[in-house]
Amino acid sequence: MLALTCQVYAQSPLSCQPEWLDGDKPLEQRVEMILQQLSLEEKVALCHAQGKFSTPGVPRLGIPELWYSDGPHGVRAEINWNNWNYANWTSDSCTAFPALTCLAATFDPALARQYGRAIGEEARYRKKDVLLGPGVNIYRTPLNGRNFEYMGEDPYLASVMVAPYVQGVQENGVAACVKHYALNNQETNRGHILVEVSERALHEIYLPAFHAAAQAGAWTFMGAYNQYNGQHCCHNSVLINDILKGRWGWDGALVTDWGGAHDTRQAVFNGLDIEMGTYTNGLTSESSFGYNNYYLADNFLKGLKDGSYPVDLLNDKVRRILRLMLRTTLNPRRPLGSFATEAHAQTGREIAAAGIVLLKNDKGILPISSQVRKIAVVGENATRNLMQGGGSSELKPWRCITPLQALQRRYPEVEIVYARGYDSGKAMYSQEGTPSHDPAQLHEEALQAARDADLVLFVGGLNKNHRQDCEASDRKSYALPFGQPQLIRDLARTNPRLVVVLLSGNAVETDWAAQVPAIVQGWYGGSEAGTALVDVLSGDVCPSGKLPFSFPKKLEDNGAISFGELSYPGDGKRQVYMEDIYVGYRWHDTRRIPAAWPFGYGLSYTKFSLGKASVDKKVCQAGDMLTVSLPVTNTGSCRGAEVVQVYVSQPKASVGRPVKELKAFQKVWLEPGETRTVSLEFPVASFAFYDESLHDWHLEAGDYQLLIGTSSTAIQASLKTKVQ
């Protein structure tokens, strides 16, 4: 009788738990134990949604459902079961973490690990099993509305930063869902655009960060909306079967983006495991369709029963889903998590400050002098909650410190006046009351506030409105919107002690920069955005961020844009990546088109000198590791950090290659006068290019240069090595 009781109540948390909950048994053994107990109908049910953000479990066996949540920067507020309205809970106000462009700008993988761990703790506390992030699509143009969710233009930087983020999230028994796999580099026509890209560019530029995430053990990937090789990316035989699950040997579950599935047969045969959001176009309700109408639901079941689809393919999908469940919701050892804590807020603050990039600082106008007695703060972004909007990354933070609030707290003895300056078109209200929405009046009020100030802080940039930094739409202009360029010029003429702070996730045109003594790229900094910004402006924190993407001087200087409409945004049906492997600084440096602000660039309040560099091997083999070493000295007056960057160049190659490609970097913090030897190790195999004739990587014998510097253009040393 006891045996019968244990069999019936297999889900009991007491001594008669099923064997597949025994964490000491091998994972694959436990997967097979569950698989053998499932009916055909139960298996199919695991492969598709049962709600907006949930997929079924197996109630008969006590296996709970899986719960998913946006997004890469925080755990989104609760959404209703079957529509996109917010559920209006009072217990879902999260910590908003900095956007991933800001994280990438830290050039600090240790901070990426902290970020992942903290956001994973929040997801775990909120009983989420899959966190829909991070995003690692490559920054191809400055017009992409979702660039702020990604990690910049360089595949190596994104690879180094994504791995610890994934591992940090998954320490909590929460799956990272790496997105959007692959080639989702614009929002315009994202649902159907057919991307045509060379095999070489695919592997050299657009896949490495996904590969790094797979190697780091990411438990789920999210397919992209667009098409590649004639198939939608959520069920794409080349991307999923051949590369992700084949060549890379990845054992996780491939999830659609919401509404990303389009065909049952392709979903069955081309690697899709979990179907979400079908018939919603990612944005709307299901209308008359139920979850049983999904492509991997009734149609799949029918095809299995009549022999159209092999059961082996179903079992592969279910094994992947069961692995996910055993790693998350069926993992009895996962921690409890924590939510919206001061510790998480401080983690976000540290990351936000470390990512802020000082672009210009003539005459030492920053940090803010102790002699300043009146500060004029101009700009809507000084008072705006920039966590709102942006699509799926929208958050409901438990607090959001604006730049104006942070300045008032940091400088209680200083007179601080605020003028909105420009109007983004949304109803916004400052602390000083209801502002005028007349652009001319706002402009004049800003100039009046600036006239007799000791310092003017213009806090502008973009926001997460439609056609700015926002999902489902791209920007229409490279220039700052809402008349900001003219306002900046007029402010500079009115008061030369002007600091321009750009809050955005994208590069913007800075043709006004010559008239401004100080410029700061502040990103979207999360709950503590204002505090972190003022930490840097005040000098409490020395700026150490580096640009994760180039700022072209003008839009046409961008590689993708330069080739015309078919290259970006396409003709409505297809687009061709005509710049090929020459993305970002690879384009600017190789084509000798200087950027306004180059990749890897960022100033400090202190100064650094790089000593004589050396490499440990003058002649090397394909399997070797190389180490570049050099002393770095802080020659200034405050503690600060420099990012030493090593680029590789092959002057004589059998194929076209960029002038330089980043292969190693290290961030080093130094006290004034301190010298430390920095050693950067990287594999010789990373010098290889993708050979389309071999359909594989190829390392050519010959001479290579190792270029050491502090940005893609600030190269201070060159070493040689020969590959035999």
Specify whether 257 is catalytic. Answer: yes
| Residues 320/252, Cβ–Cβ less than 8 Å | yes
| Residues 127/53, Cβ–Cβ less than 8 Å | no
| Residues 94/396, Cβ–Cβ less than 8 Å | yes
| Residues 660/647, Cβ–Cβ less than 8 Å | yes
- CA distance linking residue 69 with residue 129, whole number of Å: 8
Residue 313 corresponds to which tokens in the numbers above? 């393919």
Q: What is the DSSP string of 174-188?
A: -EEEEEEETT---ST
- CA distance linking residue 408 with residue 428, whole number of Å: 20
Residue 247 corresponds to which tokens in the numbers above? 């060549």
Q: At what angle do helices 155-170 and 208-215 cross, to 10 degrees?
A: 30
| Residues 89/77, Cβ–Cβ less than 8 Å | yes
Question: Residue 374 pairs with which residues in a beta bridge?
Answer: 415
Q: b or e along 569-599 (b: 16 or more beta carbons within 10 Å of the residue's beta carbon)?
A: bbeeeebbbbbbbbbbbbbbbbeebebbbbb
Ramachandran class of 397: left when φ > 0, alpha when ψ lies in -120 to 50, beta otherwise = beta
Which residues make Cβ contacts (< 8 Å) with residue 11, sequence separation at least 6?
A: 17, 18, 61, 62, 63
Q: Among candidates 513, 490, 509, which has minimal Cα distance to 500?
A: 513
Q: Which of 257, 469, 557, 580 is catalytic?
A: 257
- CA distance linking residue 223 with residue 243, whole number of Å: 13
Active centre residues (catalytic) = 257
